């Protein structure tokens, strides 16, 4: 494709999905930052807060595959618009919770609403992004989620401290509705449907993407079909391991750092933001590495090597953090762990688009379902192991072992083979 002075339309789509990922994690991490005032206002214990954090993961996991199937069938324009409005409503309603039961129900429904976000993005990437750009675009999108979480920690800490936790959730709900309206107005499911795109760019995308025809899939696919695929099971297993590590950063890292090193709320917020920023760097680096290896002609290696390297770094970071006696030392090793865990995301989601094609939404949703079962276990295991052993050591050892297991799983995955073939 010749160089042009205009900004390609597909990059506007990437800007939209980047902002969506940013918003997704701002909304998600808010409850972790607001844990103490929520627990105080509603008289909740740490174990009850663990169940509330886990309720999100459960709702998120259960609705991954159905929402991915909807994105494949009805297109990401309509599906993402609807689900963002739904989860924004439940974000705002979090601020109206009055007891343990009401909060756990709202957070479960909030998770169900967020479930279609990344599967919907995957389906949009399949239609809009050339195969050789898939790694960096996926990395950019996931870096948005990490930057959103990093940005949210100190800002939400300030909002909660100065205006109260209920007000913070209402503000975030309104922002989500604004994004949904903009997405519906400006986005189209395929480049062919967008009138303002140039013929040159439209031709380039059509020639360089994985398939020529990327219209919404009319063929029905069922969960049982996906469960017959070895590729699918391997993707689910390694993503379970990845989410076990990262979801700790979204749920228990802030209260852990604050309590372990006797920090105030804003100071703990800034410390907690550092590993999340490193997570964004991990996404960018991994996305760049994927495309660099792919352009050299090695499709399988472009997915397997970055993911495996990421899991090794995550294991090292978790184990190293056990031996640190200061907040700075712990944050350095946890930053390595989150950098590594986030390196695994671009290859994981690129892999889903590779093997899923027109069913990329369903495949990525099913992988994400398994990942969020890992997140669900993380949210509960941390407080229960801490209460049982009086230490966080066993939790971090379990996480490291899972990361090593994920490397073995990746060496058996076949990115170039459709889920119906392997």
Q: What is the pLDDT of residues 268-278, one digit of tens each?
A: 778 888 888 89
Highest mean pLDDT among 2-6, 151-155, 398-402: 398-402
Highest mean pLDDT among 91-95, 159-163, 413-417: 91-95
Nearest to 31 by CA among 102, 83, 91: 91
Residue 386 has pLDDT above 60, yes or no: yes
Nearest to 369 by CA among 236, 222, 250, 224: 236
Tell me what pLDDT residue 316 has: 94
Mean pLDDT to the nearest integer, 317-342: 88
Residue in the block written with tokens 């395929």: 190
Residue 223 has pLDDT above 70, yes or no: no
Strand residues in 86-217 grouped as ranges (E)? none
d(CA 155, CA 269): 8
404 confidence band (pLDDT: 50, 70, 90): very high
Residue 5 has pLDDT above 50, yes or no: no
d(CA 360, CA 127): 10
184 confidence band (pLDDT: 50, 70, 90): very high
Average pLDDT of the chain? 83
Nearest to 81 by CA among 39, 124, 42, 48: 124
Tell me what pLDDT residue 242 has: 87
Asked if 58 and 202 count as a contact pair (C-beta separation under 8 A), the reply is no
pLDDT over 70 percentage in the chain: 95
Record the pTM. 0.69
Highest mean pLDDT among 8-12, 58-62, 279-283, 340-344: 340-344
pLDDT over 90 percentage in the chain: 17
Tell me what pLDDT residue 372 has: 77
Residue 155 has pLDDT above 50, yes or no: yes
Highest mean pLDDT among 62-66, 382-386, 388-392, 409-413: 409-413
Residue 104 has pLDDT above 60, yes or no: yes
Residue 311 has pLDDT above 90, yes or no: yes
Length of the chain equals: 422
Tell me what pLDDT residue 325 has: 81
| SS3 sequence of 354-381 | HHHHHHHHHHHHHHHHHHHHHHHHHHHH
Mean pLDDT to the nearest integer, 268-297: 85
Tell me what pLDDT residue 3 has: 46
Residue 329 has pLDDT above 50, yes or no: yes
pLDDT digits (tens, 9 = 90+) for 22-37: 888 777 777 877 878 8
Highest mean pLDDT among 29-33, 138-142, 159-163, 287-291: 287-291
Structure tokens belonging to residue 313: 């770094």
Please state which of the ranges 46-55, 98-107, 108-117, 304-313 shows the lowest mean pLDDT: 46-55
Domains and CATH numbers, the chain: 9-410 (1.20.1250.20)
Tell me what pLDDT residue 309 has: 94
d(CA 79, CA 85): 10
Mean pLDDT to the nearest integer, 323-335: 86
Residue 43 has pLDDT above 90, yes or no: no
Q: Which residues, 6 or more positions from 57, have their beta carbon under 8 angstroms from its beta carbon? A: 111, 247, 372, 373, 375, 376, 378, 379
d(CA 286, CA 293): 11
Asked if 401 and 316 count as a contact pair (C-beta separation under 8 A), the reply is no
HSE-CB for 133 with a 13 A CA cutoff: 17
Tell me what pLDDT residue 337 has: 92
Tell me what pLDDT residue 220 has: 62
Residue 89 has pLDDT above 80, yes or no: yes
Residue 7 has pLDDT above 80, yes or no: no
Tell me what pLDDT residue 69 has: 80
Tell me what pLDDT residue 1 has: 41
DSSP assigned state of 179: H
d(CA 174, CA 21): 16
């Amino acid at each position: 494709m010749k160089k042009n002075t205009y900004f390609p339309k597909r990059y506007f789509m990437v800007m939209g999905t980047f902002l969506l990922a940013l918003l997704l994690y701002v909304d998600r991490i808010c409850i972790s930052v607001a844990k103490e005032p929520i627990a105080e206002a509603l008289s909740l214990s740490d174990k009850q807060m663990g169940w509330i954090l886990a309720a999100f993961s459960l709702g998120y996991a259960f609705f991954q595959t159905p929402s991915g199937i909807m994105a494949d069938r009805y297109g990401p324009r309509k599906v993402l618009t609807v689900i963002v409005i739904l989860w924004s409503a439940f974000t705002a309603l979090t601020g109206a919770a009055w007891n343990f039961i009401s909060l756990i129900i709202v957070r479960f429904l909030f998770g169900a609403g967020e479930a279609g976000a990344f599967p919907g993005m995957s389906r949009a990437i399949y239609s809009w992004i050339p195969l050789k750009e898939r790694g960096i675009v996926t990395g950019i999108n996931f870096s948005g989620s990490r930057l959103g979480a990093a940005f949210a920690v100190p800002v939400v800490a300030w909002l909660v401290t100065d205006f109260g936790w209920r007000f913070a959730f209402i503000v975030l709900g309104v922002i989500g509705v604004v994004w949904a309206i903009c997405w519906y107005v400006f986005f189209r499911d395929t480049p062919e449907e967008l009138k303002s795109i140039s013929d040159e760019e439209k031709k380039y995308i059509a020639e360089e993407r994985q398939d020529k025809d990327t219209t919404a899939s009319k063929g029905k696919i069922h969960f049982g079909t996906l469960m017959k695929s070895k590729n699918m099971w391997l993707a689910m297993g390694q993503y379970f391991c990845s989410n076990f590590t990262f979801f700790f950063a979204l749920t228990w890292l802030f209260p852990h750092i604050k309590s372990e090193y006797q920090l105030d709320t804003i100071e703990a917020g800034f410390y907690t933001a550092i590993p999340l920023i490193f997570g964004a760097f991990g996404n960018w680096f991994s996305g760049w590495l994927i495309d660099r290896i792919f352009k050299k002609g090695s499709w399988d290696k472009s997915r397997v090597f970055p993911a495996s390297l990421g899991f090794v770094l995550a294991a090292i970071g978790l184990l190293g953090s056990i031996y640190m006696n200061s907040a700075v030392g712990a944050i350095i090793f946890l930053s390595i762990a989150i950098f590594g865990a986030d390196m695994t995301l671009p290859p994981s989601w690129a892999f889903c688009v590779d093997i899923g094609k027109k069913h990329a939404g369903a495949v990525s949703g099913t992988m994400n379902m398994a990942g969020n079962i890992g997140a669900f276990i993380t949210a509960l295991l941390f407080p229960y192991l801490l209460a049982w052993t009086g230490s966080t050591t066993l939790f971090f050892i379990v996480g490291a072992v899972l990361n090593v297991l994920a490397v073995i799983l990746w060496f058996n995955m076949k990115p170039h083979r459709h889920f119906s073939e392997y």
